[in-house]
Structure 1
């Protein structure tokens, strides 16, 4: 009883006072939050989604960015912050302003840590929120996730899910009518209900019905025939000509009438579809199916497949397999990803931002520091790369960035050899970039043999880790790597 609260509407303050004396409950006032979510009937205002923004901000401030790499921050965003957002998205359609606020916070955290400085972004957030094979980091756009969540709510309604929310909608809003037959300008329901009605045009392309006994399938508004939704073809006039009421199910259309001949050809096609379905009638309950991968319909909702259908696609990049591969080290892959996009803060890019900056390579002191010069046209870095990869690349060895990234991204080698080449390249890029930054900031300089030794040690440690993990596919990796060091 002490955990219960009574909420009243349409009652005067004096009546509320009398009820509070009569019932041993606390009297609550709207709006209120339940399980962390606001209970509102009107469109989200800034004050309604402010707790979500504040919750994300507090999480970010609680993490020590000093010990987090870019890859570490990305992992926290995808596993923690996105989970918080998904909890809200499962119940509401978040406003555009809310999504933009969340994405600005996450972008600032990714690129600058808890300082939350938005001007430090190296790559646009829109590009970050694309699949890895399209050059992104694999995060899902919240705007697209918002649309998928609304489609999932529609799926729960049309599939007649066994939940209190669905049953309440069927009793109070649908009232035995089809979800597809309601008008968009209805005055019934909350703001989220009206938003769901506007998503129906998108949902129509995903939802079909496999007819069994025909009792739960709307004749006019469900997609059960080869002609799709019959009302979209025939309209109100077709309801009159066919003699089948607007609320009729397929089972009701089978009984109480006989087949007619019509002047309009599409009406005769409807009659033929109805007869054909009647001949295939079974005692099974009608099944609602949803479009999944490869446009195959399934009796369940797939968030991933739906997202792939509605999202905005980009061109596939050729280097994705050279950056993202099994058993990679995340911080090495992130550095390699930035290098593939040419977004590392190399000397030539620093000169664009600040004409007074020193853009000369800190290793050779002869050329402007570009990505292609640093990896591995520079005499200093080329010797490191040659000591590391000459033994495994052999005749295919090159110091040209474009040829190298294309070579490590193809699948023409065996699993073990591909892993060693890719991991050695990423480790070398990361170690050289770390040494370059150290020299730029006045730290101690390290020699080529020492850096090469570090790279060799990192590769060996990774191979040993794979062995301890029990992945037997890489048993030959250590011997193969040792053979390249002689």
Structure 2
């Protein structure tokens, strides 16, 4: 599976072959008094040194080098002695959860409301930038659906948003649509729920935050059912489902919060599949 990950991430074939050879097939001999004695398989320490050497060779061939001062390794469930060996072999530092990667928080425990603050700040900055412009309702709607939900999509496709965060995002959108005078929202011409209805029903088609978030999370269920050969689906089948049908597992504290979110989406979709008389297997 590790080799598949490297291939899917587009690492050069030569680098993948070298790395896999280092971690799967090394055998060593000892030189004693000028003679070679014995043959034994590589163990943990020798393999770590071989990986570090392989990374150095990759640097020489490609010119791509991991900067030790800017590179961290993150561990979960790793014994302290093994952790220290890995850090010593690579020269990298140990990182601490949670941390941000590509704008999203990566975490091992429950995500807190404070972690959503960068998302709220970005939305506020966009709205404040547009606030002094003369825009029609159609123009404001376009900006919300394209720009604001563009920011929200980045988060919403990875985590189920807290209801409180969804309410704050909705409030920011409401204030932008109706406008605010001296801290008070101007006259409201239509209920927000009606504005969020499809255009074909006479509304202006603003996306409702929680419903759109659920729709985005559903794509992971779709990948498991219809894209079983993609890297993520194969990883889930191998390490999470372990031969079980996708519809069987339930949310569990032993699983990651992200996977539990996917399971909850499955539970919401299951009645619709049953009513349609259609069920799929991810195996």
Determine if the TM-score, normalized by the shorter chain, exceeds 0.5.
yes
Q: Is 2:160–2:213's contact at 8 Å kept on the other side of the alignment?
A: yes
Indicate the residue corresponding to 1:61 in structure 2. Answer: 128
Q: Is 2:225–2:281's contact at 8 Å kept on the other side of the alignment?
A: no
Give, in whole Å, the separation in 2 of the partners of 1:64 and 1:228: 48
Counterpart pick for 1:156 among 223, 226, 237: 223
Give, in whole Å, the separation in 1 of the partners of 2:258 and 2:168: 20
Q: Is 2:97–2:108's contact at 8 Å kept on the other side of the alignment?
A: no
Name the structure, 1 or 2, with higher relative contact order (CA <8 Å, separation 6+). 2
Give, in whole Å, the separation in 2 of the partners of 1:25 and 1:47: 29
Structure with the bigger percentage of strand = 2
TM-score (norm 2): 0.64
Residues 459-474 of structure 1: pairs in structure 2 closer than 5 A: none
Q: Is 1:127–1:136's contact at 8 Å kept on the other side of the alignment?
A: yes
Residues 291-306 of structure 1: pairs in structure 2 closer than 5 A: none
Residues 397-416 of structure 1: pairs in structure 2 closer than 5 A: none
Residues 13-32 of structure 1: pairs in structure 2 closer than 5 A: 20=87, 22-32=89-99
Give the Å deviation of 1:80.
0.3
State whether structure 2 residue 195 is matched by structure 1 residue 128: yes
State whether structure 2 residue 147 is matched by structure 1 residue 80: yes
Give the Å deviation of 1:147.
2.0
**1:222-259: per-residue Cα shift (whole Å, max 9, x none)?**
x9xx9756xxxxxxxxxxxxxxxxxxxxxxxxxxxxxx
**1:425-473: per-residue Cα shift (whole Å, max 9, x none)?**
xxxxxxxxxxxxxxxxxxxxxxxxxxxxxxxxxxxxxxxxxxxxxxxxx
Give, in whole Å, the separation in 2 of the partners of 1:116 and 1:55: 20
1:10/1:107 CA distance change after superposition, 3 Å? same
Give, in whole Å, the separation in 1 of the partners of 2:211 and 2:194: 14
Residues 377-416 of structure 1: pairs in structure 2 closer than 5 A: none
- Structure 2: give runs of 5+ residues left out of the alignment: 1-65
- Structure 1: give runs of 5+ residues left out of the alignment: 209-222, 230-285, 289-486
Computing the radius of gyration from Cα coordinates, the structure with the larger value is 1
Counterpart pick for 2:169 among 98, 102, 108: 102
TM-score (norm 1): 0.39
Give the Å deviation of 1:107.
0.6
User: For this pair of structures, how many residues does the alignment match?
Assistant: 215
Over aligned residue pairs, what C-alpha RMSD do you find? 3.3
Give, in whole Å, the separation in 1 of the partners of 2:204 and 2:237: 41
Residues 1-400 of structure 1: pairs in structure 2 closer than 5 A: 1-2=66-67, 4-10=71-77, 20=87, 22-112=89-179, 117-118=184-185, 120-182=187-249, 184-205=250-271, 207=273
Give the Å deviation of 1:100.
0.6
**1:255-288: per-residue Cα shift (whole Å, max 9, x none)?**
xxxxxxxxxxxxxxxxxxxxxxxxxxxxxxx998
Give, in whole Å, the separation in 2 of the partners of 1:45 and 1:177: 31
